[in-house]
Structure 1
Amino acid sequence: MSTRVALKRLDAFAILSFLIPLFLYLLTLAPSVTFFDSGEFITATASLGASHSPGYPLFINYAKPFTWLPFGSIAFRVNLATAISAALACYGVYLLVTHLLKDEEIPGNFFRTARGFTGLCAAVTFAGTSRLWLQSNHDKPYPLLAFICAVVYYLMLLWRDSYDRGEECPAYVYLGAFLCGLGTGAHQIMVLMIPVYGWLIVSKNWRILFRVKEFVIALAFGILGFGIHLHLIVRATQRPLLNWGDPQTLSQFLWTLLRKGYPTVKPDRDLALLWDQVNALNVPREFTVVGLALLLIGLMSFAKRQRDAVLSYLIGLASFLLVIVGYFNTGREFIFLTEEFFTPLYLLSAVFIALGTFHLVQELAARLPAAWAEKRPLCRTLLSLLMVLPVSVCLLHYQENDQHENYVAFDYASNVLKSLPEGTALYTWGDSGAFPLWYIQGVERMREDLDLLHTPHLVFKWYLDSFPELFKNSRLRTIPPGQIAPEDAVMLSASEMMDKRPVYIDFSTRYSVEFTHYQPHQNGICYQLLPASQPLAPPPTDLWQIYTLRGVLGDDLFFRDLDTGTAIRIYAAAHLEAGETLLKMGYPQGIVELAAAQRIQPDLAKQIDQLRTTYGVR
């Protein structure tokens, strides 16, 4: 009997608000490493090390247990961890919606399920946004951060309820403060939510600001949560596989935490740039125009009933825009990187979209005849219309986020490593060109005879220390910090390596550095650095036979992000360059290379026709 009672108490809507998003994410989950920060996050997680600044210790420790699963690659397991955290964030939407609507009345017995059904629709709508979906099917810390933000918001609502009952429970605030500190270990934008939580507290009674004892206790709990960053120091002493910044000293810890390794020169901002920066937060793109309309309805209709909650959303909006747009002032080419910072704000947007939806259901139910409100078929039909928005959002963003066959980054890294001779020193430039290589070599143990050297890091002593034998006597160690550019560092380092081993550069380095004293000899999608005086042999064409090109040819890969598309264009550009070089040297195989370039990137047809005309070939 007790089992039946327990089953009846299960909230089916709550369970579905987690399971439906999880199903979507598993359906589109990337099977291996992807581009951007993926390879780096996975390598740091596998070795319990430190990722790029500010280190992301919470995400790394959260995802680490998933690497012990007995199926799939390490990359797949970490991707699975992210999918689960994203589904939890969607459940967080449901939790907030149902709590904010707990006192709302609606005519008709059947319409009482509208509260849970609205929360479920909001959770699925948030799940289908391109921003969350893109972060959910491969390793990203932002879904975990969004879930923590939702939990802290929920705790503040519980505290407000206890205050209204005259049974104030400060433990909710203390736990929320701890989670805020802990959340900074997922990303530092957690601090942008503090004004939101602060308003939910202070709006009850501004005199709370003068409770020094409770403030100190809450601060102590926040510092305790922030202690997750001690992971960076402790693990740095163990020299993990990925140890970004080597934060085992106070100076290096602060260097990592405060993101001192990134450029600080800000662009001159005009109105066009400001508009582009503001549009990094784009509710219509994520939730459609209908979602934007429901958001506005929710804010206006609940401005009196849930005034402080509405104001907290507006405070969050101001906090995020003032810091991310006003302070960061990101250049136009990097604005896309700031889009994911708004994930917690999109979560709150989904909550108020649900409130707007519920308001419309209330208005409809109030206008129905009392007898009609009790008719189950009619009510079910009306409630089913609520699914139009979540289904539309999911269908709209499904194809662009379907990564279940995305092996492009894995194959790209494997092809690079397969094409290099034994003992090669390979210099990389862009993060997306380097990070998959780190994962393939460091975690999957492929081609451990190679040294993968990331050119932008050659200017940092901590990076040179990670290759103690390689840079033991390098002249790079004698140059003061900040006195050498990466372009000069790679030239100096390559000159020291040249007589000892093969020196190669990747495609990105080839077109980022001007090699005045050396000539790059093409070798597939990599280049060997040779003395400028040495005659060049024709580029080899047999390498392409050992390359794996899943998702590169044809339209079998739906997913296309910036760097996946770039990788595909690199293959085409490499074929094009090889074809032109071969034709210039009088080798007819160049025709085949040009044809291969056009198969990969059809929009090169005009350029390829011009080359055929230039060299007099069909």
Structure 2
Amino acid sequence: MFKQLKIIFSTNWFWAIAVFLISFFVYILTLAPTVSIDDSGELISAAANFGVPHPSGYPLWTTLGHVFSYLPFGAVAWRINLMSAFFSALTVSMVYLLVAEILKNWFITSVISAFLLSSPPRIVVRGKLQRGSRGITKSAGIPAHAGMTNKYFLKSIAFSASLTFAFINLFWNSSVVAEVYSLNVFFVSLIIYLLLLWQEKKENKYLLWSVFLFGLSLTNHQMIALMAPGFLIFVFLVDKKILKNPDLILKSLCFFVLGLALYLYLPLASHFKPAIDWGHPHTWQNFWAHISRAQYSDFASGFNWLSKLRFSGAFVLTLVRELYFVPCVLAVLGIWLSFKKNYKIGWLLFFAFLGNNVLIIFLRNAPYGLTNDYLYEFYYLPSFLIMIIWLAIAAAFLWQKVVFRFLKNILILKILILIFILIWPAYLLVKNYGKNDQSDFWLVNDYTHAMLQNIETNAILVHYGWGSMANDTEIFSLVYALTVEKIRPDIYLLTDLDLWPEEKFTIDKEYLAMSQEERRKKILTFGLAMAKSENRPLYTDFSVISDLLPEKVVSRSLGNVYKIFPSLAEMRQYKIDYFQLPALRNLDDERLRNNLSASDLISRYYYRLATYYLEQNQKYLTNNYLQKAIVYDRDADSRYLKDFMIKRTEWQGK
């Protein structure tokens, strides 16, 4: 029995399952119970309704999310959040297998591990392998169990490396909310692993699987396309005659297209008019615009060296912040070793690393700023994975150097090393647990419900967010409440996102060419006309000031939204019965100050409260909430602050 257990414990699959269970358990403990910030609400809504989310559509993620939505426990949002935790935990397992595979091939053949596969153990005499009994051979001076010690230590490095990746801040953060990043990193790790197996076993089935999964992964997140140069270079380095094998090339193309075929989900889903139908990709023109992300102009002309350099500097700082300085330095040693041990794998890892930082920074046309820097951080996750692999390679190299020097104290050394390799992921677990524990995160949920509760029946709610960080969070949480939770289905949410199957507001080239101010005027004008023709109350999520429209409409804050009146006189006649404004949980959570999306959302909420108390003539509360709004407002040129100041001047002058 003990022998069988020893065999089980010695397998890589046992430890891969172990790190999966450990990380998955931690992720479940810290999983968000409902919608969170950024794209969470929209992605969950699209998955739950078999719909179409924002470009490029993410059909694989949406399909898998729909499957998870059928879990028989938890709220719909929690179930789909669980999908991120699941694939992140699978990624952690893949990191273990990747590191174990590389270390096995590179370090198990060293002198110290010459005993590894022998039974009874082998010994080394004058540089030659010989059979021998257990113990220490005087001529060699090396204990016969040293090879086994090396084997288990290499597994320990892989174990530590995988859990280190599991608990770095950014990866953990993406693992407890509904987002596409965890599935993307999973595919990166799986494809690299299959390519390594293809090189080792010389069986083309591994190459074909990797090609298929690469095509399939593009239907989740197109950023993985930037790894294609590294994958292709590796394939040509391993098999220089592959171009003379048309049969294999044709099969590879077929498998690649087969993976890409999941994009056909988009026109099919759009044809049935789901609750979320962003861009309506049931026509060829709309389909191409959607999968090519035309509305974002990712690769538009224009190149700013200063902006690129600032992004590059921010990436390095993020890398050091997540992994710390000394591990980053050791990873540089790992880069050198990867080329020295196997230059083919060295190039594969190197280009995989560059594809997820340098290529992203220099190919995408985005100006540097806090918002884009925040968004880019999650694109870098595959680069962190590669850094962990390099760090593990360096650790294995240093281990063998240390073993040869302190071989006589092998027992003490094993204990010390064991403590060292376990303490690092444990340290990250403790340090980052509080930052990423979203198990009691209800802010977005409460914020959304508070907005909806004060709106009259059959009303129109006009949303316009100025492109601020809170914009996505607010609109997408409203979408989730309306389409998944079915709260207030009588309300029509008027946006400029083109996400409803029967969109009433037309977004054309003329609109896209407008300034932010002009867009807000146009959508508000449309909302006024719609409310008038359909005899419906009109609300907005922004304060309406006098110079916004030629029509002298005015708004009044209800604490969470603004009600629109055709005249000041009618607004003054409107009686606001005193009510207790709903309390939002997590408002005082200090962690949220450092999150751009959350802090912007809280700032917007406080601006609305300041306006509400201004119109109630409660000066103290007005100033109190205004100060809070400014503290959380990270925008140096805040439109919301400007609107409030204009509103206050107008109100005090009336």
TM-score range, shorter chain: 0.7 to 0.9
**Residue aligning to 1:305:** 341
Cα deviation digits, residues 565-595 of structure 1 (max 9, x gap): 1222223222222333333xxxxx4434544
Q: What is the rounded CA distance, in whole Å, between the counterparts of 1:397 and 1:58 in structure 2?
A: 30
Cα deviation digits, residues 313-337 of structure 1 (max 9, x gap): 2222333345311121312232322
- Please report how far the alpha carbon of residue 527 of structure 1 lies from its aligned counterpart in structure 2 after TM superposition: 1.0
5+ residue gaps, structure 1? 164-168, 584-588
Q: Note the 1:441-460 alignment, pairs <5 A.
A: 441-454=482-495, 456-457=496-497
**Residue aligning to 2:528:** 495
Cα deviation digits, residues 508-564 of structure 1 (max 9, x gap): x75999344222221212112222554533998767625131111x34766852121
Letter aligned with residue 367 of structure 1: R
Contact 1:573 1:597 in 2 (8 A): yes
Are residues 1:201 and 2:238 paired?
no
Letter aligned with residue 387 of structure 2: S
5+ residue gaps, structure 2? 114-145, 465-470, 634-640
**Residue aligning to 2:179:** 140
Alignment counterpart, residue 459 of structure 2, candidates 417, 420, 424: 424
Cα deviation digits, residues 153-198 of structure 1 (max 9, x gap): 11111111123xxxxx111111111000100111001211222222
Q: What is the rounded CA distance, in whole Å, between the counterparts of 2:260 and 2:585 in structure 1?
A: 42
Are residues 1:212 and 2:250 paired?
no
**Residue aligning to 1:353:** 391
Q: 1:332 to 1:535 in 2, by over 3 A?
A: farther
Are residues 1:70 and 2:107 paired?
no
Q: 1:513 to 1:403 in 2, by over 3 A?
A: farther
**Residue aligning to 1:111:** 150
- Please report how far the alpha carbon of residue 266 of structure 1 lies from its aligned counterpart in structure 2 after TM superposition: 5.7
Contact 1:266 1:331 in 2 (8 A): no
TM-score by length of 2: 0.82
Q: What is the rounded CA distance, in whole Å, between the counterparts of 1:292 and 1:397 in structure 2?
A: 18
Are residues 1:401 and 2:436 paired?
yes
Letter aligned with residue 346 of structure 1: F
Letter aligned with residue 375 of structure 2: L
Q: 1:70 to 1:294 in 2, by over 3 A?
A: same
- Please report how far the alpha carbon of residue 261 of structure 1 lies from its aligned counterpart in structure 2 after TM superposition: 2.0
Contact 2:528 2:538 in 1 (8 A): no
Q: What is the rounded CA distance, in whole Å, between the counterparts of 2:358 and 2:394 in structure 1?
A: 26
**Residue aligning to 2:332:** 296
Give the RMSD, CA atoms, in angstroms: 3.2
Q: What is the rounded CA distance, in whole Å, between the counterparts of 2:56 and 2:579 in structure 1?
A: 39
Q: 1:428 to 1:491 in 2, by over 3 A?
A: closer
* Paired residue secondary structure (1:521): strand
* Paired residue secondary structure (1:537): helix
Cα deviation digits, residues 349-396 of structure 1 (max 9, x gap): 211111111111111112113x422x2x54122222123432343344
Q: What is the rounded CA distance, in whole Å, between the counterparts of 1:407 and 1:125 in structure 2?
A: 28
Letter aligned with residue 113 of structure 1: Y
* Paired residue secondary structure (2:478): helix
**Residue aligning to 2:132:** none
Q: What is the rounded CA distance, in whole Å, between the counterparts of 1:178 and 1:231 in structure 2?
A: 17
Contact 2:334 2:392 in 1 (8 A): yes
Letter aligned with residue 110 of structure 1: T
Q: Note the 1:112-191 alignment, pairs <5 A.
A: 112-163=151-202, 169-191=203-225
Are residues 1:384 and 2:386 paired?
no
Q: 1:134 to 1:385 in 2, by over 3 A?
A: same
Q: What is the rounded CA distance, in whole Å, between the counterparts of 1:543 and 1:228 in structure 2?
A: 53
* Paired residue secondary structure (1:520): strand
Are residues 1:336 and 2:374 paired?
yes
Number of aligned positions between the proteins: 584
Letter aligned with residue 154 of structure 1: Y
Cα deviation digits, residues 288-320 of structure 1 (max 9, x gap): 112201211211233211222222222223333
Q: Note the 1:430-441 alignment, pairs <5 A.
A: 430-441=471-482
Q: What is the rounded CA distance, in whole Å, between the counterparts of 2:541 and 2:195 in structure 1?
A: 51
Contact 1:523 1:539 in 2 (8 A): no
* Paired residue secondary structure (2:23): helix
* Paired residue secondary structure (2:462): strand
Letter aligned with residue 67 of structure 1: S
Q: What is the rounded CA distance, in whole Å, between the counterparts of 2:388 and 2:608 in structure 1?
A: 45
* Paired residue secondary structure (1:225): helix
Q: 1:391 to 1:491 in 2, by over 3 A?
A: same
Over the matched positions of the two proteins, sequence identity in percent amounts to: 25
Alignment counterpart, residue 504 of structure 1, candidates 519, 522, 539: 539
Cα deviation digits, residues 240-260 of structure 1 (max 9, x gap): 111111111211111110111
Contact 1:402 1:559 in 2 (8 A): no
TM-score by length of 1: 0.86
Letter aligned with residue 328 of structure 2: L
**Residue aligning to 1:166:** none
* Paired residue secondary structure (1:405): coil
Alignment counterpart, residue 274 of structure 1, candidates 297, 300, 308: 308
Q: 1:343 to 1:335 in 2, by over 3 A?
A: same
- Please report how far the alpha carbon of residue 397 of structure 1 lies from its aligned counterpart in structure 2 after TM superposition: 3.1
Alignment counterpart, residue 27 of structure 1, candidates 26, 29, 35: 29
Q: 1:539 to 1:389 in 2, by over 3 A?
A: farther
Contact 1:538 1:581 in 2 (8 A): no
Contact 1:97 1:351 in 2 (8 A): yes
Contact 2:604 2:629 in 1 (8 A): no
* Paired residue secondary structure (1:206): coil
**Residue aligning to 1:528:** 563
Are residues 1:367 and 2:405 paired?
yes
Q: What is the rounded CA distance, in whole Å, between the counterparts of 1:361 and 1:173 in structure 2?
A: 33
Q: 1:346 to 1:543 in 2, by over 3 A?
A: farther
Q: Note the 1:242-261 alignment, pairs <5 A.
A: 242-261=276-295
Deviates more, 1:440-449 or 1:11-20: 11-20
Letter aligned with residue 42 of structure 1: I
Q: What is the rounded CA distance, in whole Å, between the counterparts of 1:513 and 1:56 in structure 2?
A: 41
Cα deviation digits, residues 257-283 of structure 1 (max 9, x gap): 011122569696544422222245332
Q: What is the rounded CA distance, in whole Å, between the counterparts of 1:382 and 1:250 in structure 2?
A: 59
Letter aligned with residue 441 of structure 2: N
Q: What is the rounded CA distance, in whole Å, between the counterparts of 1:428 and 1:486 in structure 2?
A: 11
**Residue aligning to 1:100:** 102
Letter aligned with residue 327 of structure 1: L
Q: What is the rounded CA distance, in whole Å, between the counterparts of 1:511 and 1:121 in structure 2?
A: 57
Deviates more, 1:306-315 or 1:91-100: 306-315
Contact 1:288 1:393 in 2 (8 A): no
Contact 2:457 2:491 in 1 (8 A): yes
Q: What is the rounded CA distance, in whole Å, between the counterparts of 1:557 and 1:349 in structure 2?
A: 27
Contact 2:331 2:394 in 1 (8 A): yes
Contact 2:277 2:501 in 1 (8 A): no
Q: What is the rounded CA distance, in whole Å, between the counterparts of 1:114 and 1:541 in structure 2?
A: 70
Letter aligned with residue 114 of structure 1: F
Q: What is the rounded CA distance, in whole Å, between the counterparts of 1:390 and 1:368 in structure 2?
A: 25
* Paired residue secondary structure (1:426): strand
**Residue aligning to 2:51:** 49
Q: What is the rounded CA distance, in whole Å, between the counterparts of 1:478 and 1:405 in structure 2?
A: 41
